[in-house]
Amino acid sequence: MIVMKFGGTSVESAAAIERVAGIVRARADRKPLVVVSAMGKTTNRLLAAADKAAAGNLEGALRDAEELRAFHQREAGAVCGPERMAVLEPALARHFGELEETLETVAKEGQVTPALWDETASYGERLSSLVVTSAFGALGLEAAHLDAREVLITDSRHTQALPLYSRTYARFQEKAAPLLERGVAVMGGFIGSTPQGVTTTLGRGGSDFSASIAGAGIGAEEIQIWTDVDGMLSCDPRVAEGGHLVKVISFAEAAELAYFGAKVLHPSTVLPAVEKNIPVRILNSRRPDVEGTRIVAEAVPSRINPVKSIACKRGITIVNIRSLRMLMAHGFLRRIFEVFDRYRTPVDMVSTSEVSVSLTVDRTDQMSEIEAELSRIAEVSVLRGQAIICLVGDAIRETPGVSARVFASLRDVNVRMISQGASLLNLSFVVDEDDLVRAVKSLHAEFFSQLDPEVFA
Ligand code: ASP
Ligand code: MG
């Protein structure tokens, strides 16, 4: 058994769903459990409708729902054919009827409570999973529909629910495994329900998490995340061309890269897979023959390439905090971090000396308040327009000379902050945004002129 997850763009239209059916058919003998996101931008549109209803514009909200109905009917009609449509139509009608009721409730309450947010957002995956199941059937790939809310049992933290693992896994064994014995099954990602049957969601982008939970639940041999990129590259394609496909990377390395918006999974989404030692593979639904990136429990050590990937992030702000009171004192760092905490601003990189601390943030909406508060206890300076560059590789820690090579490649770049050690498998530093492209190109040339065929395609 395998899990195959397809995101919103992969199921955004009749043509896209047909392509998905082809990909699944080619792997049908591996008994796939297919997990789908909402079609295209449906989740955003549902939530926008809820906002309208809450703001007193129920009419506008219902019009949005009507447009979504037309969209689903049109795309489903184009791929399902009249016979399947005759069965699907009443189901679609029922869902849109319920959606209207939900929007009316939102309007009545005058706000989108977390429970109503989940309820509204859930229609996207409820609909897409039904449409995809019918479409598969029409395309000669008989599939069973699995209601995610009957298997993915969560706590009641609406908009951010977490699975109750042992119950969820028991449900997958009871309900999904028998379906897969007979063939393909399809379920919606992102959604679940409490033990009392109240609809919940796992948070935006939660379908990857669903796929990982489902994989762990059925004891899949592999979890495939189908996206629109080939997999993880040795450098960010938005910054520099010519990156090489990383064929295999460890969970820990992938987690380090996740922060940088590299097209990988959020680290917490792969946790259930890690715990059961199930590999996760990133694949491209537009180029299904590319082998993609496999994320596995243990790193594949490479003598040739201690660095597996260079990630980066623009729009970083450095905060430099300096105080003589810090000298041999305790409690100072705590006071600094409390300020960031009070303003709910995550701190990413930190480096300290005896009398100063530098740290980076990427959210600056509360920066003037933070600066004012810190100024009461220290000298503060804020430097905007920075970028973090992060080299990731399990072997960085034990390969002598990596930092010499890094800083030689950056010989004419002003490096503002450096950090190595926290995770042992990353070396990060901060440069001016203006220097980013030049710095990344030169590092990439330095570390990827030779490629280990075990690791890179
Ligand atoms: N449809 C949900 C969202 O847009 C979940 C997902 O696609 O992963 O956030
Ligand atoms: Mg996604």
Give the environment of ion ligand 2: residues with CB less than 5 A. Answer: 7, 205
Q: In 3D, which of 336, 430, 354 has the Cα closest to residue 388?
A: 430
Confidence of residue 338 (pLDDT cuts 50, 70, 90): very high
Residue 33: is its pLDDT beyond 60?
yes
Q: pLDDT tens, 349-403?
A: 999 888 899 999 998 999 999 999 999 989 999 999 999 999 999 999 888 999 9
- Among the ranges given (21-35, 90-104, 288-302, 326-340), the one the predictor scored with the smallest mean pLDDT: 326-340
3-state secondary structure the chain: CEEEEECHHHHCCHHHHHHHHHHHHCCHHHCEEEEECCCCCHHHHHHHHHHHHHCCCHHHHHHHHHHHHHHHHHHHHHHHHHHHHHHHHHHHHHHHHHHHHHHHHHHHHCCCCHHHHHHHHHHHHHHHHHHHHHHHHHCCCCEEEECHHHHCEECCCCCCCCECHHHHHHHHHHHHHHHHHHCEEEEECCEEECCCCCEEECCCCCHHHHHHHHHHHHCCCEEEEEECCCCCECECCCCCCCCCEECEEEHHHHHHHHCCCCCCCCHHHHHHHHHCCCCEEEEECCCCCCCCEEEECCCCCCCCCCCCEEEEEEEEEEEEEECHHHCCCCCHHHHHHHHHHHCCCCCCCEEECCCEEEEEECCCCCHHHHHHHHHCCCEEEEEEEEEEEEEECCCHHHCCCHHHHHHHHCCCCCEEEEEECCCCCEEEEEEEHHHHHHHHHHHHHHHCCCCCCCCEC
Question: What pLDDT shows up at residue 302?
Answer: 87
Residue 431: is its pLDDT beyond 80?
yes
Angle subtended by helix axes 58-109 and 14-25, to nearest 10: 70
Question: What pLDDT shows up at residue 300?
Answer: 82
Domains of the chain: 2-228 (3.40.1160.10), 309-447 (3.30.2130.10)
Q: What is the Cα–Cα distance from 201 to 125, expressed in whole angstroms? A: 10
Q: What is the Cα–Cα distance from 360 to 320, expressed in whole angstroms? A: 9
Q: What is the Cα–Cα distance from 86 to 295, expressed in whole angstroms? A: 42
Hey, what are 456's tokens? 């890179």
Question: What pLDDT shows up at residue 140?
Answer: 94
Q: Is the CB of 96 under 6 A from ligand 1?
A: no
- Among the ranges given (109-118, 280-289, 318-327), the one the predictor scored with the smallest mean pLDDT: 318-327
CA nearest ligand 1 atom 8, residue: 205
Calculate how far, in angstroms, residue 353's C-alpha sits from the geometric centre of ligand 2: 40
Report pTM. Answer: 0.86
Question: What pLDDT shows up at residue 251?
Answer: 87
246: amino acid identity, one letter: V
Taking all residues of the chain, what is their mean pLDDT, rounded to a whole number?
93
Q: Which residues contact 297 (CB under 8 A, 6 or more apart)?
A: 250, 251, 274, 277, 279
Atom of ligand 1 nearest to the CA of 205: 8
Confidence of residue 445 (pLDDT cuts 50, 70, 90): very high
Question: What pLDDT shows up at residue 358?
Answer: 95
Question: What pLDDT shows up at residue 263?
Answer: 53
Task: Count Cβ neighbours within 10 Å for each residue of 39-48 and write b for 16 or more, e otherwise.
Answer: bbebbebbbe
Q: pLDDT tens, 359-369?
A: 999 989 999 99
Q: How far is CA 221 from CA 2, 169, 286, in A?
A: 6, 15, 23
Q: Is the CB of 124 under 6 A from ligand 1?
A: yes
Question: What pLDDT shows up at residue 297?
Answer: 87
Q: What is the Cα–Cα distance from 390 to 387, expressed in whole angstroms? A: 10
Please tell me the number of the ligand nearest to residue 225's CA: 2
Q: pLDDT tens, 68-123?
A: 999 999 999 999 999 999 999 999 999 999 999 999 999 999 999 999 999 999 99
Hey, what are 363's tokens? 């959210």
Q: Once rounded to an integer, what is the mean pLDDT over residues 330-354?
A: 90
Question: What pLDDT shows up at residue 262?
Answer: 53
Q: Is the CB of 205 under 6 A from ligand 1?
A: yes
Atom of ligand 1 nearest to the CA of 7: 7
Question: What pLDDT shows up at residue 134?
Answer: 97
The distance of Cα 89 from the centroid of its chain, to the nearest Å, equals 32
Confidence of residue 166 (pLDDT cuts 50, 70, 90): very high
Q: pLDDT over 70 for what percent of the chain?
A: 97
Residue among 9, 43, 152 whose CB has most ligand 1 atoms within 8 A, to mutate: 43
Confidence of residue 243 (pLDDT cuts 50, 70, 90): very high
Q: pLDDT tens, 245-268?
A: 999 999 888 888 877 755 566 767
Question: What pLDDT shows up at residue 354?
Answer: 82
Q: pLDDT tens, 124-154?
A: 999 999 999 999 999 999 999 999 999 999 9
Q: What is the Cα–Cα distance from 245 to 52, expressed in whole angstroms? A: 43
Q: What is the Cα–Cα distance from 149 to 38, expressed in whole angstroms? A: 15
Confidence of residue 434 (pLDDT cuts 50, 70, 90): very high
Calculate how far, in angstroms, residue 207's C-alpha sits from the geometric centre of ligand 1: 6
Residue 229: is its pLDDT beyond 90?
no
The residue to which tokens 């449409």 are assigned: 131
Atom of ligand 1 nearest to the CA of 209: 8
Please tell me the number of the ligand nearest to residue 209's CA: 1
Atom of ligand 1 nearest to the CA of 124: 1
Question: What pLDDT shows up at residue 86?
Answer: 96
